Structure 1
Amino acid sequence: MPAIRWKACLFLLFAFLWTRCVGNDFLGCGGYVRSDVDINYAQVGVKLYTKQGNLKYETECAPNNGYYFMPIYDKGQYIIKVSPPSGWSFDPEEVSVKIDGETDACSQGKDINFHFKGFAVIGKVVSIGSSSGPEGVTVSLHRGDALIQTTQTSADGSYVFTPLSSGKYTVVAAHPTWTLIKNKVTVEVADENGDAGASIVVGGYSLSGSVITDGQPTSGVNFILHSQDTLAAQPACTPGSPAGYENTLGLPAMCYVVSDATGSFTFGLVSPGVYMLAPYFHSSTTKYEVTPSKLEVVVSHNDLVLQQPFKVEGFSMSGRVTKSPGGKVIAGAKILLDKVRAAVTDENGLYYFENIQSGKHKIKITADKLEFEEVTVNINPKQPVVGDLSPLKYEVCFSVTVEKTASHSGPWTIKITGEGKAAQTLQTDVDGRGCIYLTPGSYSASVKLSQAADEAGMRFGPLEHLFSVTSDPIEELAFSQFLGEISGRISCLEECPTLTVSLQPAQGRSGAPRSVTAKDGTFSITEVVPGSYLLSVQKDDWCWKLKTVPVTVNTQNVEVSLEQVGYQLTLASSHETTLSYTTTTGASGTIVAQKGSTLVCMSGPGMYTLTPVGCHKFGSTQINWNTSSPNLVTLSATKHQLTGAVRATEVAPFTVEVQSGSKTVLGPLNPSPENPHLYVFELWVREGETITLTPSSPTNLYQYEPSSHTLTMPADCVLNTVTFQAERALFIHGKITPPVSGVTITVEGNGKVYTYTSDADGKYVAGPLDNSVQYSVSAEKRGYVMNALSEKGHFEAYKLAEIVVEVKDEDGAPLPGVLLSMSGGKSYRQNSLTENDGTIGFLSLTPGDYFLRPMMKEYMFDPASKMVSVAEGATIMITIRGSRVAYSVYGHTVSLSGEAETDVVVEAVGQGPECDQYQEEAMSDAQGSFRIRGLYPKCQYELRLKKGSGINLHVQRTLPSVRSVHADNKDVRDLKLIVLRPFNQMDVAAKVDTDPQHLSSLVAQLYREDLPDSPIQTIKLGLHPYFMLPPMTADKRTYFLRLESNLPSSQYQYSVSEVSFVADSAFKHLNLSFKPTLRSVDAEMSQGTVVGFATAIILVMLAFNYDKMGSLMEKVSHVMTTVTAPRIAQKSLSATSEVPSTESGRKRVKPRKV
């Protein structure tokens, strides 16, 4: 008896510790439907949808514990939805997962659970005489006197309250305008939903509209409602029809209403249905026609408002024209009515029209020197007289006379500005006369000069006319019609050379630029037209106090001063760095070079020696720059500094291993003088070089955080890239009793997991571990329960029961790859695939009931599921048979050239009414292969490229676009789809700015940013500075176009011209420059002359004494080589540097960069 109790406790302990066991040789999503109350789990389903809403798989929950599992055959975006009976509430209702095989919850074997929240009360608010009801009725749920929930009915009148516990509830409905015949119902919830039925009824809805005459509301119009159906209830209106009404519609007249003073009419409590509405309007003497004469209306489950009003369709009209409101009348004005009928005002300014129909009419008036606005008037029998009409604008005339025309004459532009009005302009004729129509008000007018006239010094008077427009035209306002010198001095830091001074019109003014020569620092510019100008000195390599001086010439001469403040140094640097400098005069200082181009003003003349300082290493340690020939200084970093440290709690001989192609070791490291426990290291690394830093010590008693650090050196310095924390490690010694080998020991702490394995004696050692972390130790082996003992790391082992499942096909052959999902016991579940022999074992089982379900796409199984009872230590054998019911399509996606096209999503869509709900899809792999599973033999499918947001963006179409597929009880193989990508070609044109004589020496080379030493294209320029690159792909990468020259560096000095661009458009145009300069050759000529003379003497001696002079020739040759080689090498290095090329092991000469 004690042994039985001990084993029972052991099983309970195992059930608590052994909570999950998930196979890792397949992909799937699983979890539980959880509930705090008893529910029938078998009624709850779980469905797997694609992001586009296509159902991929569905399953039911295990009836014993709510567990579910669904296999995943293709990675991608999915939605998992719980599918319970209507009204049951779950949290969440759906979960989105992006399955990538690594980082998502399904790939990591994590549960996706749905929690049952409660049942529901369902019901419907209906319209009288209908089985459906209105949307928007407020429905509240009460439990006793407590309000539980409030909602509104949906489109068919339905409502749902959820989640709810068991009990009695009252449903109460309310609406602000509708009449409810019954507004409450009582319902009870037990172990399922409570159904309130259709007990709440709406008594009907309002039907309303309006009637107008010429846009104005009309009262007293009758509206009769007809229907051929027997109504469930009488509407709220007067029964029958009005006196005198003749029913010609053939439908019974139910009732009628009369429009009120606002022209509105309303029928109340109208039940849903189809009705005919007829208008009827008459007086004692007149009967009016109302349109439409009848109107079919459909009343649904809502109030109906007729948007289009009914209209009453259907005398002499007169008016007067005056010069201003309330002013003198205008005789002889022509009146045009609706662009057809005409009249002329009499001496009293009156006009008349006969036989006018009610409605809106347009009136247009014309009169000499006056302008009228076309007006629209509303004429009806109650209002046949039009109010007084007055002009909108009056004519105002101007004249401009020119006494001295110079080179300018009319036409002229006059600017007219009124109070509170936008400015207007008037263009005169060539004689300077012009007129404009203006509205009444106060105005100012001035001649607006053109840019050319303004620059020519044209002036007019008066400057402006002030006038008022009242009720008469204005005959005429008249307008009736000075060169300078700019001189100056230039202050130079040294003796002023001959300089060019430029004068150009200021922005917004026209005119040609002018330039003069300044000698000894003085200049003068005469015959300057009045206006604003910009004055500058054409010397860009100098710094100026003001580079451009604004000058305004009006009525007197102008004097200007320009001052040089330094010399402009241009730096082109690959990185931001600091340079110290010294000069021949003893001055010194520092300057900062920004990444890219930097302009620095050097305050004094002479030779500057520049020395880069900082965390970058450049090609040269010093650069000379002279203000007399200020060349571009180029800085190109070759290496960058990287620093780090090891921080330890005790002193030890630490080292850092650097792995980058080859392995080097830094150290032993010296402790920092400020902190003896901090060991700092530094090294110089080339850009793009990937290195791994690993700390270590001779004794393996330390652990490091992090254990190593890998980085790719960026294009800049990296300071304090990592600090390794070194501490003495922890070791855990443990044992399995009785001894069991192969037990997996898992040590977890601080989010990290370490695994070890017991040896034949059941022992293990875990470490080194972080001694500052609390660790938990667990042990597991299939078929065993591991009971943790009191001593940490020690376990006692017990063997458990098992279920062995064998799966066979229709012919009795083993069926491998079938996914078997088993759950039960105390939160136990396992999902595994059958082996090649069709079997799988579920080990380490505690006693209890287990639910088994086989799953494999394209197969049905018998039994489809099975509940298995497992006793203590038992071995149970189960056989399942599978029948294939669907098949697969195998194919390839290739390009036109036959190469594999990857990541192409292909779908198979069922055709016909019985199969159009079926859709399957797959994505091509790295070999272009794809497999679409689950095609039914009864269906014809269309195989095509899948369309949708974010899908197949790299594919334009396939050939063929659609293929018909029928899986006739077998797989379809070897289908091929040719994939066509979108057109993405780019053209690049370039121009070289250089002396034509140098074109033949140039070649243009195209490089890609990630391959800077391997040209993609090489173009020889020939005799023309323009060239085109071969078509290239617009791949959004960065490229460099670089000029190379074969001009001898001993004779010419030049630098490489290079331009970068991004391949992101259909066309780009680039500009390059090549400006070589001749070197000074006096010194070389003097040395060459001496060497040449000596060589000639030796050759003559050799010719006559060849045998005797042989040995002497060798000695002389040796001396000559020794003397001249350093000089030649020195000159060559000053012009160029050789860098290795990736092509054929040769060296390519590049312009010097430092």
Structure 2
Amino acid sequence: SINMAGCKATFCLLIFAIISRFPLFSSADEVLGCGGYVRSDVEINYSNVGIKLYTKQGNLKYETECAPNNGYYFMPLYDKGHYILKVSPPPGWSFEPKEVSLIINGETDPCSLGQDINFHFKGFAVIGKVVSVGNNAGPKGVTVSLYRGKEVIQTTQTTTDGTYVFTPLSSGKYTVVASHPSWSFINDKVMVEVADENGDAGSSIVVGGYIVSGSVTTEGQATPGVSFVLHSKDAITAQPECSPGIPEGYSNTVGIPAVCHVISGTGGVFSFGSVPPGTYILIPYFHSPTTKYEVTPSQLEVTVEHDDLILQQTFKVGGFSMNGRITKSEGGEAVAGAKVVLDKTFTSTTDADGFYAFENIQSGKHKIKVIADKYEFEEAVVNINPQHPVVEDIFPARYEVCFSVTVEKTASHIGPWTIEIHSNSGVETELQTDMSGHGCIHLPVGTYSTAVKLSSAADKAGMRFGPLEHVFTVDSDPIGLLTFSQFLGEITGKIFCLEKCPDLNVILRLAQGTGAPRSTVAIDGKFSFTEVVPGSYQLSVQKDEWCWKLKTIPVIVNTQNVEVSLEQVGYQLTLASSHETTLSYTTSTGASGTVVAQKGSTLVCMSVPGTYTLTPVGCHKFGSAQIQWDSSSPNLVTLSATKHQLTGAVRAREAGPFTVAVKSGGQISILGPLNVSSDDPHLYVFEHWIREGESVILTPGSPTNLYQYEPASHTITMPTDCVLNAVIFRAERALFIHGSVIPAIGGVTINVEGNGIVYTYTTDAAGKYTAGPLDNSIQYTVTAEKKGYVMNALNEKGHFEAYKLAEVVVLVKDENGAALPGVLVSMSGGKSYRQNSLTENDGTIGFFSLTPGDYFLRPMMKEYTFDPPSKMVTVDEGATIMMSISGSRVAYSVYGQTVSLIGEPESNVVVEAVGKGSDCEQYQEEAASDDQGSFRIRGLLPKCHYELRLKTGNGINLHVQRTLPATRTVHTENEDVQDMRLIVLRTFNQMDVAAKVDTDQQHLSSLVAHLYREDLPDSPIHTIKLGLHPYFMLPPMTADRRIYYLRLESNLPTSQYQYSTPEVTFVADSAFKHLNLSFKPTLRGVDAEMSQGTVVGFAIAIILVTIAFNYDKMGPMLEKISDIITNISTPKAVQKSSSVSSDIPIIEAVKKKVKSRKV
């Protein structure tokens, strides 16, 4: 049945007239954005005021201007997050508030709720600048006071470039006065007047210059009397406070004029006063009649900006040079290229004659360390002074000798080896070689003998080396390479094959140990291994596709060569099957049989050579009906079930035809018309083959579309086996509603609502529609709506009468003339009207239900500029105004995805693109990945290169440690960038908690532990029942730095025991915590309990006797009391928990229903 919702035409028009007098807000699902008004009690030009949206980190995301007619503004939001909305007026204008902090979550913030964010104008300003002499900029920190007459109105300090602002101010005449404790001013005041705009004080206040100071020392002591000359290549506008000219004996070597000079005082400090901003060269000058010293640095470039300059680098008076020679032996040849280190700090390299030198050395003892290839030197301590600057020759203490142990093939030993070294002086040394048998040692001068020291295992295995020993002498040069070689044996063998033997690879491995195996090729079944170290081995043929009598045979090489043999017994068939199945086979020689393939991998030995035809038999469809397998080239037979059988039916009282639509992914296939079951004439059956793990939606239907179905559809994910009778759909005749709109209007939205479900339909060009099929057991309400119209329901069910209102229709196109969808168009004006909506796919957007008046219209979309950027529109009653706007793209986007190491999407990861280079470093854009890990960063300029990276900061990406790669470079080049992939590595934040209860064993079964969080003290997060063990673990927790409570409770009767329930508090801020609780109940005294019961019983007896003698008076009152006690004591619901005896604590998760939030 149908219940029509509507009203009479006259009544609807009255309602519209009333509504049009109040503000209209855009629908919450049209666009997410922030809007409001700039308000002023005096007349100002609203179009001069801008509104800017910044991220929490201060990056500009969007900016817009206010409507000139009413101060309204609106800006779109493309991403949720923490933002700051700021008013951006002309300099000096004051507003309250200046900024508003916003946390955009799409639900509860002011912008998502459609609330206005307004800014109120408070006054104008006096703006000026304190500058440095000869410069357009000035210093920070100058105190500036504003006077009206003799009264100080405001005091402030200049900012970085010398600018100052006084605000808010009313009209009048003012005086600005500057002051500073150490600087002198060429002009320190200026007069200014404020009328109907800001007062401009200009740059009339001028600072004369700044102090440049430094210091000079000799070996850490202050040095007076050192001259410092200031040079400048540019003409300066004011003379600094210093001695003109240059000191006596000074020679100008820098080629630019000297301005003046100063001399360091008793504390080693020097100072230039009133130095104008600029770049200067500062040169130290210091000498005596007998000695000229080095002063470092010899010159220093200094840049004076708009502040005093204290030179951080101290000038130091230096010393003299020293030199020496490195030789191979005492009085021997020179060592060239040796590295000489002085006092572990200074480094020099010897020349071809072995000489080295150091400059600017101080007198005293010095340590010299020499480093040279193939030599070792002892550290030398020398005493140097200007009278003795030359060091005696330094020669090596030890020389390099190298050895090599050569092992061609080994059974168990390949290194390292131990070499014994005996000197003629009786000193014994051992050298351990590396794994390749090479090793070097540094030895002092002398004669030596060496031999390889064998381990007991190597000696027992028959390892022998030659020569037995080397004898050598070390004098003044390193010794190259002394070599020891190994003795080896041979293994020969034969392979017996079912057919002619092909070339086969034979592997020889050590029976024990991890030595590298050897291999050779058997030709016509014969093979051999030479140079085999004596020992135990395992011999095998590398032919896994054959079956062998013995796959591996043991071989022992001792003192003679060995002969072995191997025998083939068949061919190995390897089956890899997704399901257990049986395969029948026939061979090219006529043999036949069956094999069973287990789920997974199965190995079968086929004793006959030839070609096999394998045929799977079973309930599953495989890739091929038959599989060929050849013993001569035995490949892996893979049986992967591609599909499994699914069956179902449609049950109907009436005759079909019926179909079933199968939707998988984006593909839809139709089964049918369905056949009638042979067992039931009302049952229409279907079958379908589906891949394992594939999710499909089965939807019944009919070409006549006259039925409704229960269920309407059925979703199933295919398991690993066939599914029979998966669903039976029941078909019944459905309800259809036919209606129209007069006059005939197409595109009217018809909403049919029943049982909370809304079905939407649209009228055709003739104004007609048909709604259905619908459930005929439900009552429906039908409404009609179209922007710019009022719809009046008529008496005839499902029919409406339409009335048109005034409207503005905007068409937005791009530079190529194509429709531009998704453009945010904001329109405000009229009688408090405002609406912010997006253009449709055809580039149009309509503003309907408009009253006559002037409206301000502005298009907005990130990455685009528009022509015109804004427009005032005059709307007459009932008019339709068409507007065209052209958009040009000026920025582009980067699309990408954040995934885990295994490729799964990572959501809520904030990624930013930061501009690179001096021209682009101020640009920053960001976006957060969605549930699929996808992100889009908008607004990247073609002129810039960007660095794509993980965004950091307080509260941002706390769940992410880093990305791989850490950064990527992006350049849009007049088109969007696609498929930027970042691998996300998460931060591990799990915490484990263990606890122990100190109590008697008999009380453990009575205890239950409850875990609470501080903000949920009445709702336990977990409940743990203790069994027979005092130890238990809590379920894994998140280390969220919150406070938790662990509390014990007992079911011991308090009438028999006296105890308190312990509780322990902890903070979830580490990977593991251990907690201790104590439960010590005590038995109550029996006598005391009986005495108390006796007293209570005696009191009750007295009361009962009193009631008995006065029953007539107290009877009615007692009945009422009895009823009350009965109601109170009777439980509404009883939850009985059985006692559980267990050795293991039982953990019960406490489930709480959490209200879902829109994100």
Q: TM-score range by the shorter chain?
A: 0.3 to 0.5
Q: TM-score, normalised by structure 1?
A: 0.44
Relative contact order: is structure 1 or structure 2 higher (C-alpha 8 Å, sep ≥ 6)?
2
